[in-house]
Structure 1
Amino acid sequence: MATTDNFYSRLVAWMKIILPLTALGLLSTLFLISRHIDPTKSIPIAEIDLEQRAQDQGATNAAFAGVTGGGDEVMITAETARPSPENPRLINAEDITATMQLVSGTVVTVTSDRGNMDQSDLDASLIGNVKIDTTTGYKVTTERLDARLDVLHAETPGPVSGVGPPGDLTAGRMVLTGDEETGQAHLVFTDGVKLVYTPQPSEDIDQ
């Protein structure tokens, strides 16, 4: 019986030494294994993202506002806008809405898929699915509209189609200009204008 108690005591004593050493060994093994994991492996992805962001520097929900020499207010907003890689003075934008509040009271709203604005020349081009809507009743579509930002002047280098107070119309070109002296805006259709006149319904007057 004494031998058994003696063996048990020795076993307990040895276990008190062996178990802590085993635990220490396991911990050091974990640390050694963790040293083989390279945490910098994820950095190249982050660097690529930062480099791409630096190249694609720009803004979302960008806005530009100004006043022409004749007092017409111009506001241009875009979903995204960033400088052109080839020409830093050129701003490329997407999902554009341009609003022109004319001195005469007329409001012209233009939307397009994309466009660009030259900061030095103060001009802009709206390209792709261009829609022009005026409070005087004109709704016109075209593929491109070139406009000045310092004076009221916008024109389409290509054909337009739409509707207006007179009826349905198509033309090879459209020009919007303003008279700085009177403040009046002039919308002119040229180059093969075709108009399908729509008579306005007359009101019946009770006698």
Structure 2
Amino acid sequence: MTAPLRETLTRALRLGLPLSAVLLLMTVFLVSRAIDPSSAPGIADMDPADLTREPRIATARFAGVTRDGTALTISAGSVRSGTQTIEAGPLMLTFLDPEGVMRFPDSSSLRFDASRALLDQTEGVLTAQGPVMLENSDGYDLELGALTAQLDQTRLTGTDGINGTAPAGRIRADALELTRSGGPDGGYRLAFTGNVRLLYSPD
């Protein structure tokens, strides 16, 4: 990656990833390490020719708090920008091996990961096509067909089929939605929708 291109991409990530404080009301921090193309053969699934065509930033981590009080962290094996310059328009960022963690004021938490996700600055959302794995501190361990996470508020939706385990047994559904619940010290509400089936497994 050339120095000017690396500088442009780094500036774009630092300035664009807050998704504008007015839009998202989040504070976002970026810690990144630039990839050295000459060392790419030593990094799994990375090809020097691919790096030349699609420059990227490695080991990126973004953290902030949504306007309704949920701490959100997104880390990724690498991040690639769909625009070469900030002036080219709203950022479209591709995350490889993203992992998201949501921590709620009542100390409950949720984690999700996928092989690839897209961050759309215009819409202020992170989307990932399945399989997406989701688990939370209440004992749900689920596989989602697709996931959409809002970045300015606590709202996560899973679509295209939900399958996994719940505290009471096996569960299937068409979709799910997670939102904040309660007041400033609240946790979250997880709702399954569509064709919901629960195979109850008593202890």
- TM-score between the two structures when normalised by the length of structure 2: 0.68
**1:152-173 C-alpha deviation (Å, 9 max, x unpaired):** 1000131100101111000001
Residue 56 (structure 1) shift: 2.1
1:50-93 CA-to-partner distances (Å, cap 9, x unmatched) read 99757523201111111011211000011110111596511011
Indicate which of 72, 75, 80 corresponds to 2:73: 75
1:179: how far off? 2.8
Rate the CA distance shift 1:60–1:88 in 2: closer, same or farther, 3 A.
Answer: farther
Structure showing greater radius of gyration is 1
Partner of 2:101: 99
Q: C-alpha distance in 2, partners of 1:180/1:79?
A: 34
Which of the residues 172, 175, 178 maps onto 1:176? 178
2:196 alignment counterpart = 193
Secondary structure, in 3 states, of the residue corresponding to 1:103? coil
Does the Cα contact within 8 Å between 1:167 and 1:198 map onto a contact in 2? yes
Match of 1:135 among 137, 160, 170: 137
Residue 125 of structure 2 corresponds to which residue in structure 1?
Answer: 123
* Distance (Å, rounded) in 1 between the aligned partners of 2:131 and 2:161: 12
Count of residue pairs the alignment pairs up: 152
Residue 115 (structure 2) pairs with residue 113 (structure 1):
yes
C-alpha contact 1:66 1:149 (8 A) present in aligned 2: no
Q: CA 1:138–1:52 in 2, change beyond 3 Å: closer, same or farther?
A: closer
Instruction: Give yes or no for contact 2:144–2:159 (8 Å, CA) kept in 1.
Output: no
For the residue of structure 1 that corresponds to 2:107, the secondary structure is coil
**Considering only aligned residues, what root-mean-square deviation do their CA atoms show, in Å?**
2.3
Q: Looking at secondary structure, tell me which structure has more helix per residue.
A: 1
Supply the AA of the counterpart residue of 2:153. V
Following superposition of structure 1 onto structure 2, how do residues 5-84 of structure 1 map, counting pairs within 5 Å?
56-84=54-82
Task: Name segments (4+ residues, structure 1) moved above 4 Å.
Answer: 50-55, 85-88
- Of all paired residues, the percent bearing the same amino acid is 25
Between the aligned partners of 1:199 and 1:160, the Cα distance in structure 2 is 21
Q: Give the match for residue 18 of structure 2.
A: none
Tell me which amino acid in the other structure corresponds to 1:188.
Answer: A
Structure possessing the higher relative contact order (Cα contacts under 8 Å, 6 or more residues apart):
2
